[in-house]
Chains A and B, each alone.
Chain A
Amino acid sequence: MELFILGCILLLCSGTAVVLLGRFRVASWIATLGVWAGCGLALIPVIQTLGGHCPEPLRLAWSIPGGSLTLGLDGLSAFFCLPILLISPLAALYGCEYLAHEKKSLGSVLFFCNVLIASMLLLMTAWNGLLFLVVWEIMAVSSFFLVVFDDEHAHVRDAGWTYLIATHIGTGGLLVFFALLGRQAGSLDFEAMGAAKLAPAMASVLFALAVIGFGSKAGFIPMHVWLPEAHPAAPSHVSALMSGVMIKTGIYGLLRTLTLLGTPQSAWGWALVIIGLASGLFGIILALAQNDIKRLLAYCSVENIGVIAMGIGAGVLGQAWNQPGLVVLGFGGAILHVLNHAIFKSLLFFGAGAILHATGTRDMNQLGGLFKSMRWTGMAFLVACAAICGLPPFNGFVSEFLIYLVGFSGIRTGATETVVLAIVIAGGLAMIGGLAAACFAKAFGVLFLGEPRSDLVSGAHEAGAAMRWPMALLAVACLGIGLSAPLALRLVAPAVQIVAASDGASLGKALSMPIPLLAAIAWLSFSLLALAAALFFIRRRLPRGREEDLTGTWDCGYARPTARMQYTATSFAQPLAHLFRFILNPRTRGSLPQGFFPRDAKFETCTPDAAREWLFAPFFRAIDRVVAPIRRMQHGRVHGYLLYIAIVLILLLIWKAGGQS
């Protein structure tokens, strides 16, 4: 445990050390070295914990009411440390090159980046509600400062503002949650909270608060509004860190909550499954309609969080129905998907960052044909696209397979509720999977394939080594987890055991049940690769001695096609966007060409976020109307303020005097 703390301290110190050195290039390397060293130190106890040797929790005395300052690791928190410890060093390394040409001082971004990483690590070990909240707030604030790094742009400041409000709505929910639970348990220590006997109604209220609090961080619909604003605004390695890792702290919180609230109720499971389905479908449909690559990735995170929530919901239902098979598959799939999503989503953001770095735009309709100039980035991006669609032989397939299997294996009992669950999970995941394939075929196809759509691409260059290697490593990890699926399940087993054992049920056999299936999948993935390679080899050998010509694309007899005639990102997604227009409500402006010799025609389309437009905007406008009169009190005249102070003092005196008599 001491090593873990030492790692966090190293992170904070190296971050603080470079605050004032921000204008020198060496600063980012010092900070990165700190991240590597800190994460390396913290990895040792994490691996020990996953191997079954939990370190002794660290209990420190503190003078604040509500239990003791306890830091500890168990299977669940150790597993959630893995993505942090894997992605953070790579993101820091990537950031060194990504920000190398920045004119501004890098002091703040380096400092807050290290603080963010350290706070996420500490959050995993916080075993006390108050400590948890404090670290949670540090995490929120440090990531806010990272989002507003480019604060000279108005849209970045707006995005930061949206994020700050959204995250504090969540924190508000958590404050009430911990206050209520602490009151019931008599202490804010997690151990005491877990032992508290809660009335079922109370437990449900607490669960709802946790869903709001943690869901706003994770990005459940409709609390997802900050993701598509904050991710594009932040520097790309920060987006990778936030989308790949930070939003998972919400999932961690939710799972931790489940261990605190005693026997789960089936209503909670249903709530999570429905929220998950809604987030998954809305997220991917909104992602499809985006033309800004980082916005698209942000919406896709909403989708993946939805898939994770469906898995957790199924696990909770399994607990409520006392079916260990469902528990293992649901929680196992969801927790494995957390790691998988961290890997491929960071990779995608790294790739998007490399493109932004090389071309200066995030607008997919301006890009195209990048595969020729950015081969490494393109290959890594392609792997991540296939993985995020859940296609074999990559890691996304393994976790989605487990979640699919929840639906199928539950249905065998034939009870009506299991059939409904199966329809929601299997039908929903199939739909989400199909739409994700469409979305990422669009992303990769429009960015990397075909011909360049504008001059921005002509200057594009491959990213340097510090940006390339993190991408290559993550791509290898995508394939590695896919090919060693049974091992991956062993990795999540301790975490599943902790979440599932809150009601004392023994998983025992159920934990090893999916292992032969995953072994079969791993073998088939190997054969798929081998077979494809063999076929490609045969194909290369076939035409020996025969000619292989290069020519223009066959455009149905049209002799001079230009790059502007290609399908664009908008046109590729148009049929599906049209099909789901009742969700998307795309706004179009412009006029179609008219007459025999049309001259002026223009067309604009944009897809605003429905939750932001119809839910939050009216809500905050209403608040604004109510509180606007209060603003008159703040008029800037000093004697007025003195008067307020005097009035308050007099009122206090009267109250005090009244109390004594």
Chain B
Amino acid sequence: MNVTQWILPLAAWVLAPLMLGIINRVKAKFAGRRGQPLLQLYYDLFKLLRKGSVYSRSTSLVLRVAPSVSLACMFLATTLLPWGGLSAPVAFAGDIILLAYLLGLARFVTVLAALDTGSAFEGMGASREVQFGALAEPAFFLGLLVLVLQSETLSLSSIMSELSAATWQSSAILLVLVAFSWFVLLLTENSRIPVDDPNTHLELTMIHEVMVLDYSGPDFAYILYGASLKLWVFAALVVNLLVPMASLPVWTQIPLFVLGIGIVAVLVGVVESILARLRLYQVPKILIGSAALSLIALIVKLMD
């Protein structure tokens, strides 16, 4: 096993919470505030890990196990991510299907934990989460088909290493369409504006945040950390698409990749600052729209 391959998962585990710091900083700048420290999430995590916890009397084992399962899924998901020319620590044909289903498993246990509390608000969040999840999955897989068609390989690592400067010259439109479609998924899956507002103060309108209302202490730390890893996973996919790193020297790839992730975080912050939240009824439309973008990319690819 190649040690350098583990740099990326390690980077993800260490740097992922920083992304949320960057997003919040960008939002604060837009609003003319100073904003919280960049490392705020790290402080939060350490504080939560040292705390005790409170459980609802309604809950069962499911609520207690869910954070560990969902965090384990996210850890495994980061080991499937390649960067540039280097393959991921774990790579095999069809690994991307496993990646999608690991995220699915994490969602499944989180939804169950929300229903475990018996709270109407958390049930509401769970119901919305499964709705958007069901619509996001086809969009993700259609985007993937474009890349498989483009690279003629089946593993995420080889797909991404096939993307080079030459690919950009020949089929830039495909990459842009898929990247945009996946960026929309990034916003949806990580409950950012315009789909969900992580900072809202009204439980009625939340999706993801309302599902974890009854968590406290180390459990909540697991959940927050897992959420930041999930954001990293999606950002890494988008960066891999947009930066043809395979054609650059290896020593520039690591900083470039991390920089790319930072830029995605800034982008998310900008989107959150300039867009309003959509009505819930509108969300399925943008998800179907993002699936349509990938479908268009497929058709474009077939035409030439």
Residues of A within 8 A of B (CB): 368-369, 371-372, 378, 382, 386, 389-392, 397, 401, 404-405, 407-409, 411-412, 414, 416, 419, 422-423, 426-431, 433-435, 437-438, 441-442, 444-446, 448-451, 516-517, 520-521, 524, 527-528, 531-533, 535-536, 539, 542-543, 546-556, 561, 563, 565-567, 571-576, 579
Contacts and interface: CB of A to CB of B under 8 A. Distances in A.
B76 A524 contact: yes
A532 B64 CA distance: 12
B134 A431 contact: yes
A546 B52 CA distance: 5
Interface string B28-56: 00000000000000000000011111111
A450 B58 contact: yes
Q: Which 10 A-B pairs rank lowest in CB-CB distance, beginning with the nearest?
A: A567-B123, A434-B134, A445-B115, A450-B118, A546-B52, A438-B130, A532-B72, A536-B68, A535-B68, A531-B72
Given A419-B149, A446-B115, A566 B90 contact: no
Contacts of A520: 90, 92, 95
B213 interface: yes
25 contacts: A372-B60, A386-B108, A391-B104, A392-B98, A405-B154, A412-B152, A423-B142, A426-B144, A437-B130, A438-B133, A441-B112, A450-B58, A520-B90, A524-B76, A527-B76, A536-B69, A542-B218, A554-B56, A554-B214, A563-B118, A566-B118, A566-B120, A572-B115, A572-B123, A576-B134
Contacts of A444: 112
A438 B214 contact: no
B135 A434 contact: yes
B163 interface: no
B222 interface: yes
B181 interface: no
Contact of B120 (A426, A428, A565): A565
B281 to A, nearest CB: 9
B115 A408 contact: no
A198 to B, nearest CB: 35
Interface in B67-118: 67-69, 71-73, 75-76, 90, 92-95, 97-98, 100-102, 104-105, 107-108, 111-112, 115-118
A539 B58 contact: no
Which label, helix, strand, loop or mixed, suits the secondary structure of the A interface?
A: helix
B131 to A, nearest CB: 4
Contacts of B164: none
A450 B127 contact: no
Interface of B: 49-62, 65, 67-69, 71-73, 75-76, 90, 92-95, 97-98, 100-102, 104-105, 107-108, 111-112, 115-124, 126-128, 130-131, 133-138, 140-142, 144-145, 148-149, 152-154, 203, 213-214, 217-219, 222, 280, 284, 291, 295, 298, 302
A629 B128 CA distance: 55
B97 to A, nearest CB: 5
A551 B102 CA distance: 32
A441 B126 contact: yes
B56 A553 contact: yes
Nearest to B149: A411
B105 A392 contact: yes
B71 A561 contact: no
A552 B213 CA distance: 12
A371 B62 CA distance: 9
Given A554-B119, A576-B130, A567 B124 contact: yes
A441 B108 contact: yes
Contacts of B213: 554, 556
B55 A550 contact: yes
Nearest to A450: B118
B120 A567 contact: yes
A539 B218 contact: yes
A196 B123 CA distance: 60
A561 B52 contact: no
Contact of A551 (B56, B67, B76, B280): B56
B138 A431 contact: yes
Given A405-B93, A438-B130, A556-B203, A430 B100 contact: yes
A278 to B, nearest CB: 16
Given A437-B107, A553-B58, A572-B127, A412 B119 contact: no
Given A390-B101, A441-B126, A572-B123, A553 B76 contact: no
Contacts of B75: 531
Contact of A431 (B102, B122, B137, B153): B137
Contact of A386 (B76, B92, B100, B105): B105
Name the residue in A433, A516, A533 with the highest tally of chain B Cβ atoms < 10 Å from its Cβ.
Answer: A433
B134 A574 contact: no
B215 to A, nearest CB: 10
Contacts of A397: 101
Nearest to A392: B101
A556 B126 CA distance: 16
Contacts of A404: 94, 97
Given A371-B62, A445-B116, A449-B60, 6 more contacts: A389-B108, A405-B93, A423-B298, A427-B142, A556-B121, A563-B118
